[in-house]
Structure 1
Amino acid sequence: MDLQKWLDQAAERHGVPGAAVAVGTSDGGLVEAATGVVNRNTGVEADPDSVFQIGSVTKVWTASLVMQLVAEGLVELDAPVRRYLPEFGVVDEAATETVTVRQLLSHTGGFDGDLFEDTGRGDDALDKLLVFMRAEATQVHPPGAMFSYANSGYCVLGALVARLRGGTWESAMRERLIKPLGVTHLALGAEEAVLFRAAVGHLGDEQDVFTAWQLPRSNAPAGSTPCAAPRELVRLGRMFLADGLAADGTRVLPAGTFATMLEPQIMLPAPGDRYTARWGLGFMLSDWDGVPVVGHDGSTPGQTTCWRIVPDRGVVIAINANGGSAAALVDDVLTLVLAETAGIRVPARVVPPAEPAPFTQRSGGYEGPVARYQVDTVDGGLEITAIPKGWAAEMGEKPTTARYVALGDDRFVAAEPDEGVYPWVAFLAEGRYLYNGRAIPLVE
């Protein structure tokens, strides 16, 4: 496997400042590579020890902490969250009383998922977010009715873990996962990241350094703060492949937990085989080339992570990148690695069709916590303008307008690529929701 060559070429082809990859092979081997720099301003080179922000891959760590509680009989998956965390609440009183742990793990709780409120750096950051949610977390759909990706739900799960373990989410991570797994190159915040060769994100046409590196601690269980070297994500994946055992034989999760986490909980409106079709308890579930492939993706401003496990082939791969067309780099490297190590073909992403499919005209305003989307029908497709608000606007995101072409079945793909891939959207429930991973309600 010429991993270094593949990574070097992909980074150059897609304008990625720096990237790192680790591959755990079926024979127990570990292959690593790094390229470019962790920070264009300093010129510090990336190496296999470099730590990148892993974003939402953190959710699998949080889900694992919850599954430990389930195994100990301290939590029931189908019990209301308020049984264990009385402080939990959202605007909708019925949802407050009925949202379950399982629904939060599978992103079906139904309330606003992107509440990136900065509640400070103290150990009470999650507690303060819970207070904020009671007044601000509006209901998008009834609990359990559909999938809508929810960072906020994982923040609640982090608070639940902290409450039942008698500390913070961070202390539970260290005591229950990081230490028993033997992890060495992982940081839970900026105070720890400075001890490593830490990557920064790069944004825009000029690939400028994203200077607001530390995101709110209130969203740490969902992925706002952790960073890790790719090999540590391989280490986590191998624990799952070993049915809960760390490399030294320490039991981290009870036998059978991985299988439970891979049980499908909800179907997603995927436009093709490349995309996640089902969600488990913390895991994205796909079938590529007839083979189950599971894992999670993650992103923070200017940083991207892809983490995949091929359970039937014993392969784990983690890819990190810090800017440019990172998704295109991920596709290139992932395709080559999985072909060689697992013998499977990664399905292609959707692209604009030569001839648009017939479609239902859609128009109106759709709004969530971080953006408003204005949809208009134009000749041959749709025009969607995204207007950042709240946290996204504060981070400097600008309004964008893109043309979308009909794929059929109320799915649309952008006519032009964004960072090397073509975004797609769907309309659900007869147009009442614009779906882009989140179910965004029609407001007018």
Structure 2
Amino acid sequence: MPDPHRSDAAHDFETLARRAMARALPTDVRERARGGVAAVSDGAGNVVAHPFGAAHAETPADADTVFRIASMSKSFLAAAVLALRDEGRLDLRAPIRDYLPEARLFWQGEAVDVTCAQLLCNRSGMPEDNAWADRQLDLSRDALQAYAAAGLTLSLPPGSGYQYSNTGMALVGAIVEAVTGQPIEHVVHERFLEPLGLAHTAYTVADLPNDTPVAEGYRTFDGGREFRHEPFLKHGAFGCIGGMLSTVGDIGRWMRFLASAFTAEPEHPHVLRPTTRLEMQSAFTPAQIPAERAEQLESAGYGYGLVVEQDRRFGRILQHAGGLPGWSSHMRWHAASGTGVVVFANSDSFGAGTRATEILRSVLNDTNASSARIDPWPEALDAAKLVDALIRSGGSLARLGEFAAPNLLPDVPAEVRDRQLAELTDRFGDPLEQQEPLERRITSMPNAAELQWGVACAYGDLECSIRLVGLPTPALQSLKIAVAGSTSD
């Protein structure tokens, strides 16, 4: 029976979320793990979960099952570092030897300084070390200290480029412990897990509430025909970079806490400053875009404990993957809407990142999500409305008048723009008379001076983009009208 207190919007969101998860998790995909759970959350706190398979043995996975989240742990580590920075107890620009005097790093045989910030955003020059580090969660703190004292070799000069270093992040954890005099797990629990109510998130199974259902890890080498049990590694110096355990509900709350920094009323401002959360979610180290994502992404980079993507359609996306022998995890959220996705599976062959990316993109497409919560300049909105009216009425773009910057029509004369528009409407038909207000047709707003929106025509859609220049009276400096989805200039 329908819940009479449940809003239509919440019901629609659940329908879209379940449809997206069902599409992304067909039988052949689910069979790559013994079990798992996906979940979609929105900015209002609604969470829709889709569990599948077994958590362990024959015990079904459900929305409350705890999974190892692997490198998603790094976002909690980064938050702890930045909280200490905000309190004046840690300087991100300082060389790490200020906090770990024994640490020695070498580039081409010469000792060099590396800063805390460089470690935290993966531009320290330390080499990528996933295969080795995946088996080091239980490495003792003394052993990490001994490695650092013996000297760690860089494969790039400090600050010169992106390389994902788990060892570098483990050193960040050691810095937190040196500054606070407390284990990193205590710092994270006290500062974030407890105040945010993340009761089913911890670094060890022993720290979870009694009777918490915990998944076990498995490995497959034949596409899921046979699974081998993968024992839990104990918690050690590398636990801060990959050892945490959590539920989709708790990670949904963590994503919402971070994403709320983009809103006018950020959640829990006393836990971590909203401006600091925005800093976490900003790219500091450019990273290469995977070939299969090149059509979707304008750029990608690493922030503080998070990957920052600039999606061509939806704007900023924040994410982090996790992978360990026996485990695959991924969280990602859309900055503008707060919509987030979490996917956990108890097999490292599952590919949680691919599934989460597909689910989030599907939900954002189905909800026609915009790219940012930004108020446009009034002049930008007025110029867009005039352009929209001229397109829909068949008027000449020469009538842009006072909105046009001095370069606009000399760059592309009005008669050329009119002819190009006529060619488009010849192909796709006249604009439909009945259209939603322009404010509801905005598809992208990277900043207050730029707008992109759609115009529905009889046989297809047009996409309009404008950019204003910030003169004392802002003026329209560029205008593009093209086929929706076109990437041509």
Instruction: Give the TM-score taking structure 2 as reference length.
Output: 0.63
**Structure 1 residues 202, 337: closer, same or farther in 2, change over 3 A?**
farther
CA deviation after TM superposition for structure 1 residue 177, in Å: 1.3
Aligned to 1:24: 41
Aligned to 1:286: 309
**Alignment equivalent of 1:180, drawn from 195, 202, 220:** 195
Aligned to 2:248: 230
Contact 1:20–1:35 under 8 Å retained in 2: yes
Q: Cα deviations across residues 235-285 of structure 1 (Å, max 9, x unaligned)?
A: 111111233999984621123112222332121122315577212122211
**Structure 1 residues 156, 143: closer, same or farther in 2, change over 3 A?**
same
CA distance in 2, matches of 1:145, 1:6: 40
CA distance in 2, matches of 1:280, 1:141: 19
SS of the residue corresponding to residue 99 of structure 1 reads: coil
CA deviation after TM superposition for structure 1 residue 43, in Å: 0.9
**Structure 1 residues 195, 135: closer, same or farther in 2, change over 3 A?**
farther
Note if 1:129 corresponds to 2:138: no
SS of the residue corresponding to residue 237 of structure 2 reads: helix
**Structure 1 residues 281, 95: closer, same or farther in 2, change over 3 A?**
farther
**Structure 1 residues 263, 330: closer, same or farther in 2, change over 3 A?**
closer
CA deviation after TM superposition for structure 1 residue 113, in Å: 4.3
Aligned to 1:111: 126
**Structure 1 residues 120, 303: closer, same or farther in 2, change over 3 A?**
closer
**Structure 1 residues 302, 195: closer, same or farther in 2, change over 3 A?**
same
Aligned to 2:439: none
Higher mean C-alpha displacement, 203-212 vs 75-84: 203-212
1:42-121 equivalences under 5 Å are 42-92=57-107, 97-114=112-129, 116=133
AA aligned to 2:36 is A
AA aligned to 2:175 is L
Aligned to 2:337: 313
CA deviation after TM superposition for structure 1 residue 30, in Å: 2.2
CA deviation after TM superposition for structure 1 residue 165, in Å: 1.3
Long gaps (5+) in structure 2: 1-13, 372-489
Contact 2:43–2:338 under 8 Å retained in 1: yes
CA deviation after TM superposition for structure 1 residue 49, in Å: 0.6
CA distance in 2, matches of 1:207, 1:329: 22
CA distance in 1, matches of 2:240, 2:303: 18
Q: Cα deviations across residues 182-237 of structure 1 (Å, max 9, x unaligned)?
A: 111112124336852222233221341332222562211111x2110011111111
**Alignment equivalent of 1:336, drawn from 339, 357, 362:** 362
CA distance in 2, matches of 1:143, 1:197: 43
1:7-18 equivalences under 5 Å are 7=21, 10-14=25-29, 15-16=31-32, 17-18=34-35
SS of the residue corresponding to residue 305 of structure 1 reads: strand
SS of the residue corresponding to residue 91 of structure 2 reads: coil
1:345-356 equivalences under 5 Å are none
**Alignment equivalent of 1:153, drawn from 126, 144, 168:** 168
SS of the residue corresponding to residue 293 of structure 1 reads: strand
SS of the residue corresponding to residue 84 of structure 2 reads: helix
**Structure 1 residues 150, 165: closer, same or farther in 2, change over 3 A?**
same
Aligned to 2:229: 210
**Alignment equivalent of 1:326, drawn from 329, 344, 351:** 351
Instruction: Give the TM-score taking structure 1 as reference length.
Output: 0.69
SS of the residue corresponding to residue 261 of structure 2 reads: coil
Q: Cα deviations across residues 52-91 of structure 1 (Å, max 9, x unaligned)?
A: 1111111111000000011001112211111122232335
Aligned to 2:319: 295
CA deviation after TM superposition for structure 1 residue 13, in Å: 2.7
Higher mean C-alpha displacement, 72-81 vs 92-101: 92-101
CA distance in 1, matches of 2:285, 2:267: 35
Instruction: Provide the alpha-carbon RMSD of the alignment.
Output: 3.0
Aligned to 2:259: 241
Note if 1:260 corresponds to 2:279: yes
CA distance in 1, matches of 2:163, 2:112: 19
Note if 1:33 corresponds to 2:50: yes
CA distance in 2, matches of 1:162, 1:96: 24
CA deviation after TM superposition for structure 1 residue 11, in Å: 4.9
Contact 2:328–2:350 under 8 Å retained in 1: no
**Structure 1 residues 53, 87: closer, same or farther in 2, change over 3 A?**
same
SS of the residue corresponding to residue 242 of structure 1 reads: helix
Identity %: 24
Structure whose residues are more often helix by fraction? 2
CA distance in 2, matches of 1:95, 1:105: 22
Choose 1 or 2 for highest CA Rg. 2
